Copies of this chain bind each other. A is one copy, B any other.
Amino acid sequence: MARVRFLPFEVEIETLDGETVLHAAMRAGVHINASCGGAGVCNKCRVFVEEGRARGESLPEGGYKACTLVPETDLVVRVPVESHLDRRALLRAPKRRATAWLAAEARAREIPFEPSVKRHYLELPPPDLSDNLPDLRRLKRGLKEVLGQEPEVEWSLLSELPYRLRQENFRVTVTLYDHPERSAPVVQRVHPGKATESLAVAVDVGTTTLCAELVDLSSGEVLAETSDYNPQISYGEDVISRIEFARREGGLKTLAQKVRERVAGLIEELGQKTGRETEEIDLVVLSGNTVMTHLFLALEPRFLRETPYVPVAAFFPPVPARELGLPTAEGAVAEFSPCVASYVGGDIVSGVVATGFFEEDPLTLFIDIGTNGEIVVGNRDFLACAACSAGPAFEGGGIKHGMRATVGAIEAVHLDTETYEPMILTIGGRKPKGLCGSGIIALLSQLFLTGLIDRSGKFRRDLDHPRVREGRDGWEYVLVWAEDSATGEDIVFTEADIDNLIRAKGAMFAGYQTLLESVGLSVEAVERVILAGNFGSYLDLEQAITIGLLPDLPRDRFFFVGNSSLLGARLMALSRQMREKAAEVARMMTHFELSAHPGYMDYYMSALFLPHTNIELFPSVKEKLED
C-alpha cells in the first residue's frame, strides 16, 4: 500500500493492495478520462509520475496509462489537462468513505455458542453376560449419562449399529441433532472410534448468486468461502420467470436439481480448499428468499405469485441433507431460514438476525435492494416488513446495456461536468460490455448532477454534443464508443432505461414511506439505515441518495452489512439460540402488503422524479443542485 497525491488537485489517497492509480483516482474523486474501463486500450487515461516509483505501461507521447499504473512507493501523480477538465470533481465525496460497515461479523463471536449438532465421543462398556443389553439400549444409556436425557434413534440407524459399535470395541462418536420440533435430541450418526469435530456449511441461496462458507463448529471459525452464479439463471433471470418455468413439465424438478447440484459443487469446493472431508459436515443452513427456498425444496411456487400469495410453508422442517444431494456426513441435516411471506423470505429474516437490530433500541430501516427490494423497519419493540416490486433494473434487467456484475461490466462512472467525457471502470479491467447495477446508479446520478437530464429524467434536447443524441430507441447518452467496447457497439443509456430506473427507485422510496406510515412513523424518524445484500455493498451512498433511491438522512446513519443472509445462516449454524431467534423474528415480523395500502400509489407517483417531486425531502441533493 502506498499514498498517492494527485496534482493539480492536491488530493491524497491511500491505495489498496495492487490497486491501479485509475481505481484510486475514482475512489478519491479525481476525474481521469477513461473510456475502455481500464482495459488499457483507449489510451485516454494518461498521467505523469512526478515523484516515486511505479510499474505500468508508458504511452508513446509520454506518461503512463493510469489504468495500468501500480505504485511501488508513495507517488505524486499529475493529471494533465486533457485527462480532466473538471475542478468540480473535487466536490465528489470519496466513495463509501462516509459509510461504515456494520460490525455484524463481531456478532458471530458474541453469540452463545451452541450449535444444534454436536458430536459426543463415548467409551461404552462392551457387553458381557452380566450386562447384555441390546446395542441400541447400551447406546442410549451411554448418551443419557452425558445428556441427562435419552435421545431418539431412527430405525435407519439400526442396520449399521452393531458393526459401528464393535468396530472400535464400543468406542464411538455420536452426532446428535437438536430437532426444532422434538423434545429429545435425535441421533444423526454413530461413527466408530473418535471422529473429528463437526463442520457446518452456511449458504446464501440468492436469485443470482450462491454463496457458501465452511464453518468449524468447535471454534466458530470460517474456514473458507466460495460463490458462484445460481444456475437457475439459465431458466429465468428473476423469480417470476423461474416460477413460470417451474410450471412446465419437469420444470420444478429441473430448477431444484440445478441449484442443489451447484450448492453441492460449492460444498465440494470448500472441502478441497481446506483439505477437509465433506463427511465432516453435520449441518447445512441455507437462507434464501421464499421463491428460492421453494425451488430448492422442489415445492410448488405458483401460489406465491397468484393472489392471495400463499407459500407452501414459511417454516421449513429440517431435511436430511443427502436427500437434497448435498455432500455431507451421513445423517447430516439441512435447515432453512424461515420466511415471512411470499416476497419477504429467509434471506431477510437471516439478515435481521445477523444485524441484531431487533434486539436494540435505534429505529432501524433494513433495506435489501434487488429484483425484489425488501424493507424491514423496527427495533427491539416491533418489526414490520414489506416487499417492493422494484423490478430488476438495479441488477441490469430491463436496461438496454445492463448486465450482471461480471467481468467487463462498468461498475463505476464519473462524468466530467464540462466536457461530459466519462471516466469508467470495469470489473476485471476488461473492455466494457455493459453496465452493472452500481454503474447504472452512478451514471444516472452523474447525468442528473451534470444537468444532462432533468428531474423527470429527460435529456437536454438543446445540447450539441456527440454523446447525447437521438438513437433508435429515443434519446440516449453514449457512454462508450464502439471502438472502445468489447461488443463493437456503442454502449448507450436511454431515456427508457432512465424511466425504468426512476420507477424502480420510486417503488423503493414509496415502500419506505408506506411501511413507516403503516407503523405511524416517517422517514425522518429513522435512526439507522442498514444496506444489506450483495448489491448494497457496491452501492455508492451519495449517488443512491442523489437519485432518490435512499432517503436523504445524515450519512453517519448508514451502514453496509454485506451478505447478511449468509452471515445469518452462519449464526444459525453456530447457535441454536440464533435459530430460535430467527423463528421469533419471522413470527413477530408484521408483513404489510404495500399495494393494499391506500397511500402507496400517491407515494409512488410522487417518487417518480429525481430525486423526488418534493425536493424538500432531499435537502442535501437540493444543495448540490444549487451549487
Q: Which residues of A contact B (CB under 8 A)?
A: 127-129, 131-137, 152-155, 158-159, 161-163, 181-184, 297-300, 303, 307-319, 339, 341-342, 593, 596
B182 and A134 within 8 A (CB): no
Decide: A181 near B181, CB < 8 A? Known: A129-B307, A135-B311: no
Q: Which residues of B contact A153 (CB under 8 A)?
A: 317
B134 and A312 within 8 A (CB): yes
- Main secondary structure on A side of the interface with B: loop
A298 and B159 within 8 A (CB): yes
Q: Which residues of B contact A297 (CB under 8 A)?
A: 155, 158-159
Chain B nearest CB, measured from A286 CB (Å)? 13
Decide: A137 near B181, CB < 8 A? Known: A129-B307, A297-B158, A307-B129: no
**Out of B159, B300, B309, B314, which one reaches A299, CB within 8 Å?**
B159
**Out of B134, B135, B136, B182, which one reaches A152, CB within 8 Å?**
B182
Chain B nearest CB, measured from A536 CB (Å)? 28
Chain B nearest CB, measured from A181 CB (Å)? 5
A155 and B310 within 8 A (CB): no
B135 and A312 within 8 A (CB): yes
A181 and B152 within 8 A (CB): yes
Q: A355 CA to B131 CA in the complex, in Å?
A: 30
Q: Which residues of B contact A596 (CB under 8 A)?
A: 129
Chain B nearest CB, measured from A318 CB (Å)? 7
Decide: A314 near B184, CB < 8 A? Known: A129-B308, A300-B159, A308-B129: no
Query: What's the number of copies of this chain in the assembled complex?
Result: 2
Q: A319 CA to B593 CA in the complex, in Å?
A: 44
A134 and B313 within 8 A (CB): yes
Chain B nearest CB, measured from A348 CB (Å)? 16
Chain B nearest CB, measured from A334 CB (Å)? 9
Chain B nearest CB, measured from A85 CB (Å)? 56
Q: A159 CA to B323 CA in the complex, in Å?
A: 14
5 cross-chain CB contacts under 8 A: A129-B307, A132-B309, A152-B182, A158-B299, A158-B316
Decide: A311 near B134, CB < 8 A? Known: A153-B317, A593-B129: yes
Q: Which residues of B contact A133 (CB under 8 A)?
A: 310
Residue of B nearest to A300 (CB): B162
A137 and B313 within 8 A (CB): yes
A317 and B129 within 8 A (CB): no
**Out of B135, B182, B319, B342, which one reaches A313, CB within 8 Å?**
B135
Q: Which residues of B contact A152 (CB under 8 A)?
A: 181-182, 317
A132 and B310 within 8 A (CB): yes
B303 and A162 within 8 A (CB): yes
Q: A183 CA to B183 CA in the complex, in Å?
A: 6
Q: Which residues of B contact A309 (CB under 8 A)?
A: 129, 132
Q: Which residues of B contact A311 (CB under 8 A)?
A: 134-135
Residue of B nearest to A318 (CB): B155
Residue of B nearest to A340 (CB): B134
Q: A155 CA to B153 CA in the complex, in Å?
A: 18
